[in-house]
Amino acid sequence: MPTTGTPNTDSLEIAVSIVICTHRRPELLGACLDSLIGQRVGGSPGAAHEILVIDNSALAEGRPVVERRQAAFALQGVPLRYILEERPGVSFARNRGVAEAAGALIAFIDDDERACDGWLERLLEPFHRLGDAVDIVAGEVEPDFGTVPRPGWLADDMLHFFSCRWGWDSESRFLRETEWFGEGNCAFRKRLMAGRAFPTDLGRRGDGLLANEGVIFVEMRRAGAATYYVPAATVSHFIHPDRLNRRWLMRRMFYQGVSNRLMQRRNGQAEQGCNFNVNLADLAAIDIDSLEGESLWAMIRLYYEIGYASALAMG
């Protein structure tokens, strides 16, 4: 499959490969790449990084975005490579990025995110300081609403539905087993991928809302991979205005229920009991756009349960 800008890495020590998976969002991809100019690896003198853009669209909208910036990154000694992965699905794109990466460490940032100042150095610092005691490092994600005001109904404890604000601590520390992180801002040792792959039956495809391709990190952690949280390694996540409504959130939670059940089935886990009774005519009559607070939370939980129950009937 086509690539451009394949570097000669013989004279470079590629310490980390930054992988950006993108799908038909050239303007956001450009902003993401611009935020990476000037980022530094830290640690050993002479250590370098590369950036891989994995375009998951057959229309290849990301190619000109990358080509316009390759010279600027080259001046900083940073190879910027474009790779077209036409098999649809973010899991195919993530797997391609891992396969192409030259670094012993891989860092993921999403195309709708922008790295804050010092992001890369802060994300990698635990690997330098703690060595083999750390296998995975996760950063924090702050919401970016652009020019659209944040809706009044969108409470802080709902932001993680938009892949933002994990909020585990104000200080860096190891994560507990029950504390999760997002694939859009993390770094990990490439060797952890040996014999593993992001599951291609899960994760986003185009505009679909299936999730949980990050279950691979759950597998790594169950196998003993130590995960460190660095709240200062921050990215901002652009939340598209089309998502800033309750109906999108209900759809999102329905597919989270579907995704969670498919993940459990894949891992041979026991089914959860579904405990709800709903009259569909009554449900259709509810004015979702007026809900907030606990009423909104109740509807979020209901749509999740319906999605989960729907997945039980899937073959």
DSSP 202-242: SS--TT-----TTHHHHHHHHTT--EEEEEEEEEEEE--GG
Using CA atoms, how far apart are residues 287 and 8, in angstroms rounded to an integer?
59
Please answer whether residues 222 and 266 qualify as being in contact, where contact means their C-beta atoms are separated by less than 8 angstroms. Answer: no
Tokens of 106: 């891989």
CATH among 3.90.550.10, 3.30.420.40, 3.40.50.300, 3.40.50.10490 for 3-244? 3.90.550.10
Q: State phi, psi for 162 to the nearest 5 degrees.
A: -105, 20
Q: State phi, psi for 66 to the nearest 5 degrees.
A: -70, -45
User: In tens digits, what is the pLDDT along the chain, a chain of 315 residues?
Assistant: 455 554 444 556 899 999 999 999 999 999 999 999 999 998 777 789 999 999 999 999 999 999 999 999 999 999 999 999 999 999 999 999 999 999 999 999 999 999 999 999 999 999 999 999 999 999 999 999 999 999 999 999 999 889 999 999 999 999 999 898 989 999 999 999 999 999 887 656 666 555 556 788 988 999 999 999 999 999 999 999 999 999 989 888 888 887 777 777 776 666 666 666 665 566 666 788 888 888 898 888 888 888 878 776 654
The number of beta carbons lying within 10 Å of the beta carbon of residue 92 is 21
SS3 state of residue 185:
strand
**Residue 37, pLDDT score:** 97
**Residue 201, pLDDT score:** 77
Please answer whether residues 32 and 52 qualify as being in contact, where contact means their C-beta atoms are separated by less than 8 angstroms. Answer: no
Tokens of 279: 């009259």
Residue environment code for 272-301, b if the CB has 16+ CB neighbours within 10 A, otherwise e: eeeeeeeeeeeeeeeebeebeeeebeebbe
SS3 state of residue 33:
helix
Q: Which of 198, 203, 204, 229 is nearest to 216 (CA)?
A: 198
Residue ranges per domain, the chain?
Answer: 3-244, 247-312
Using CA atoms, how far apart are residues 44 and 104, in angstroms rounded to an integer?
14
Tokens of 226: 């130590």
